[in-house]
Structure 1
Amino acid sequence: MTLLDYLRFRKQAVDRSIAPKRQKIPIPNPLNTLKVLRHKDMVMILFFNAALFTCFSTVTATLSSQFQEIYGYDELILGLLYLPIGGSTTIASIGGGFVADWNFRRIAKKMGIKVDRKRGNDMANFPIEKARIQLILPLIFIGAGVCTGYGWALERQANVAVPLVLSFFIGLCVTWPFQIMNLLIVDLYPGAPATVTAANNLVRCSLGAAATASIEYIIKGIGRGWAYTILALLFTVQSPVLFIILKHGPRWRRERMAKILEEEKKKFDVIEEQTGPVVDTEPKASEAQ
């Protein structure tokens, strides 16, 4: 029995010893979302993920206006121009999940760990950072190059096929890492997936909204080529944090889990002091016979 299992057993036993009370409707505390930013690895990952999201959302937000201005297409054609980037995004979303599961099983098999699909595995000693990040490192740099090329293709007003093909690879090479990083964010904070997801949405939507609101002015000021180059640099210059997380992330994660378990243990100790010692009310096998 692990320490976490023991604490869960104690919590269940204490709950049985306390008379049921009328439950109150919980009031969500938005400050809990900001508490996620206390952790070094989470800050690095959230802002890197936000940069990926910003690049993708800005490209999609400006696609119709840029193609209309350069190529003079009507609304019907402009709508069809989203098919390449939309199709590649679908491929990345579905394929990324399958590849992530495959890599998890591959590393678990190499370590002699049997994957438990129902109850999940103990992540304390599993290199989940490696299992996720090693899948996306090449795609990040390819995506940066493709995004830069997309901007300069628009700047030079190249044949429409060129930016369309590049938009396909933007959807593939930027969305794929984004989806994998979303998995890693929940993996690193398994005790409160809703809280960490809210923090992820807060950071990425804030940065994405600011970039989307200002991208047209940036394009007019410095041109399409440099505007999309800056978007690519947003996540490229942050890519070294992934190597930092690969090196120090497992230690930071274990320290955080140990701290959380210690806090939970203190809470249960306080409950025991108020209600008395926990008594195992489950019948033993010998007594049942």
Structure 2
Amino acid sequence: MGEKQAAPQPGDHHGADTAAPSPPSSPAPSLPGADEPTQLHTIFDRRQKVVIVFLVATAATFSGFASNIYFPALPTVASDLNVSIELVNLSVTTYLIFQGLAPSVWGPLSDVKGRRIAYCCTFLVFLGACIGLAETKNYATLAALRCLQSAGSASTIAIGSGVIGDITTREERGGFMGIFQAGLLTPTAIGPIIGGALSDAFGWRSVFWFLAIYCGVFLVFLIALLPETLRSVIGNGSRVPSNILARYPLRFYQRTTKVDWSVADVDSSSLGPKKHVDVTGPFRILGTKYATPIVVFVAIYYAVWQMSITAMSSLFKEEYGLSDTHIGLSFIANGVGSMVGTLVTGKILDFDYRRMKKKHEIHIAVPIISTFITGWTSISMVSLTTTYLVDIFPDRGAAASASINLARCLFAAAGTSFIMPMVNSIGVGWAFTVCLGLQLVATLAAGIQWKFAGVWRAEAEKQAVSDGY
């Protein structure tokens, strides 16, 4: 590697694999009360953490862009491919199904093989799918490639959550997770605007050319600037992996960090036995009793949100005669609401009830304002729950994020598949009244989480200690 390596010390199981110099042969006197050496959690300084989080936040925009940029063009796609709007909405459903399932593979893979490998694979899949979608001539190809596109973009959220879990402690994770969430939410606001404008000006296929170009450019920056962070591969960042893809640009970060890690004890606590890729991990996390209630609650709420914004394009075109550009602009409130976000479930439920009470009294401003509130609350709950799951499953951050993604996307896929048939059957008002009822039922799961999850977690931790884990 071209650098002088320190001789292995007693108890050093990694030898030349670590870039940290050996501790002095004569240990320094212990301070009073310092029975155990302090281990450095990570060698990445705050400046470097901001760069890393910015990169993974940008990577997370692809999931939001691929989903939201498509909504304004749904009626145009249906017309151009000569299929019904319900059939085009079905492509949204299949997209959500793969958005839920794909992270269950990519997330555990990134927890074992490394974050950079997983990122590169997912973006290559996404790039190929976007190019294919830009050239598609029929609905069957569109539906199939949307599934592939989803498989490539959805995992950026799970992998990014894993990266943040790697480099942060619980004390600082919330703040960095907030930066990461901005990457998720920005496309919610501007994606439909870009999609609507491109569809009107150059046709709906230009939407996918835009995504392909965006992906290609970002992939270059990702490979050049994002270091490997998986703790089972690099420890606290001081270990030098043998894999070339994982080694660089990690070496640059090791040389430029302002953290004095050369005299700190290397934290090798996460360098345990070699792990295997466990695609069942997200499913087992989902079945954990102190995670299930809140995940179900969020999944139902998220599903209703997806149902409403899926129906928006068709309803706004039919009821108000909006163009694709104007439909895209109508999504601004939804996006801004998502970005502002906090948990105000009671208010949204009351507002939704008043909004849908009488269809003929509704002005277009009312549903637009409502999307602000639904986006606000839905994304806030997803953010809070994702942070919670990463906290309680720190060694499986990507898998934990994948578990909530699995639940919310599958619930949303089910909802978006029947929202328009339900609207056509019983009307807009009654359809969303049913959605409101589902949200009310879901609050019972949130109550169970609030009352019992802490006790269940304590019991699980005691059991793990008694079992020797």
Structure 1: runs of 5 or more not aligned: 1-12, 97-135, 267-289
* SS of the residue 1:148 aligns to: helix
Question: Counterparts of 2:350 and 2:390 in 1: how far apart (Å)?
Answer: 28
Question: Shift of the alpha carbon at 1:64?
Answer: 1.3
Report the CA distance between 1:224 and its aligned residue: 0.7
Alignment equivalent of 1:39, drawn from 288, 308, 318: 288
Q: Tell me the equivalent position of 1:156.
A: 360
2:71 is the alignment partner of 1:74: no
Give 1:48 deviation, angstroms.
0.8
Aligned to 1:190: 394
**Equivalent position SS for 1:159:** coil
Shift of 1:152: 4.1
Cα 1:15–1:52 change in 2 (3 A) is farther
Q: Can you give the 5+ residue segments of structure 2 that lack an aligned partner in the other structure?
A: 1-9, 18-241, 244-272
Rounded to whole Å, the distance in 1 between the matches of 2:374 and 2:14 is: 57
Q: Do structure 1's residue 143 and structure 2's residue 348 form an aligned pair?
A: yes
Q: Indicate how the Cα distance of structure 1 residues 15 and 196 shifts in structure 2: closer, same or farther if over 3 A, else same.
A: farther
- Are 2:298 and 2:382, in contact at CA under 8 Å, matched by a contact in 1? yes
Contact 2:301 2:442 in 1 (8 A): no
2:314 is matched with which residue?
A: 65
Partners of 1:51 and 1:206 lie apart in 2 by 10
| Residue 175 of structure 1: how far off its partner (Å) | 2.8
Question: How many aligned positions are there?
Answer: 208
Distance of 1:85 and 1:40 partners within structure 2: 32
Q: One-letter code of the match for 1:146?
A: F
Correspondence 1:251 to 2:448: no
Q: Is the 8 A contact 1:88 1:171 kept in 2?
A: yes
Distance, in Å, in 2 between the alignment partners of 1:27 and 1:46 is 26
Residue number among 288, 294, 297 corresponding to 1:48 in the alignment: 297
Work out which of the residue numbers 13, 16, 20 in structure 2 matches 1:16: 13
Letter matched to residue 68 of structure 1: K
Which whole-Å deviations, capped at 9, do the CAs of 1:94-149 have from their partners, x for residues lacking one?
xx5xxxxxxxxxxxxxxxxxxxxxxxxxxxxxxxxxxxxxxx4xx11212223334
Deviation at 1:74, TM superposition (A): 1.5
- Amino acid in structure 2 at the alignment position of 1:66: L
The letter of the residue matching 1:54 is A
Query: Given residue 181 of structure 1, which amino acid in structure 2 is its aligned partner?
Result: T
CA deviations 1:34-65 (Å, max 9, x no partner) are 21233222111111110121121111111111
Specify the alignment match of 1:280 in structure 2: none
Paired residue secondary structure (1:141): helix
Post-superposition offset of 1:27: 4.7
The Cα shift of 1:226 comes to 1.5
Q: Relative to structure 1, is the Cα distance of residues 179 and 150 closer, same or farther in structure 2, using a 3 angstrom cutoff?
A: farther
C-alpha displacement at 1:262, in angstroms? 4.1
* Distance apart, 1:28 and its partner CA: 1.8
| Matched position secondary structure for 1:16 | coil
Deviation of 1:260 after TM superposition, in Å, equals 3.2
Q: Which residue of 2 aligns with 1:175?
A: 379
Q: Which residue of 2 aligns with 1:114?
A: none
In the TM superposition, structure 1's runs of 4+ consecutive aligned residues that sit over 4 Å from their partners are 22-27
The aligned amino acid for 2:13 is: R
Aligned counterpart, 1:232: 436
Percent identity, please: 22
Three-state SS of the structure 2 residue aligned to 1:244 is helix
Give the 3-state SS of the residue equivalent to 2:13 in structure 1.
Answer: helix
For each residue in 1:210-237, what CA deviation from the matched residue of structure 2 results, as whole angstroms up to 9, or x when unmatched? 1111111111111111111222222221
TM-score by length of 2: 0.40
Using the TM superposition, give the Cα deviation of residue 204 of structure 1 relative to its aligned residue in structure 2, in angstroms: 0.9
Deviations 1:162-183 (A, max 9, x none): 2222222222233323322222
Partners of 1:142 and 1:173 within 8 A in 2: no
Structure 1 residue 15, shift from structure 2 partner: 7.4
In the alignment, which residue of structure 2 is the partner of 1:126?
none
The structure-2 alpha-carbon separation of the partners of 1:14 and 1:59, relative to structure 1 and needing over 3 Å to count, comes to: farther
Cα displacement (A) at 1:66: 0.8
Matches of 1:27 and 1:205 in 2, distance apart?
A: 26
Structure 1 residues 14, 258: closer, same or farther in 2, change over 3 A? farther
Instruction: Kindly indicate whether residue 332 of structure 2 is the aligned counterpart of residue 83 of structure 1.
Output: yes
- Structure 2 CA distance, aligned partners of 1:14 and 1:226? 68
Report the Cα distance in structure 2 between the residues aligned to 1:81 and 1:236, rounded to whole angstroms.
27
Mean Cα displacement is larger for which, 28-37 or 213-222?
A: 28-37
The 3 A distance-change label for structure 1 pair 81 and 15 is same
**Structure with greater contact order relative to length (CA < 8 Å, sep ≥ 6):** 1
Q: Measured at CA, do residues 90 and 37 of structure 1 come closer, stay the same or move farther in structure 2, by a change above 3 Å?
A: closer
The CA RMSD over aligned residues, in Å, is 3.0
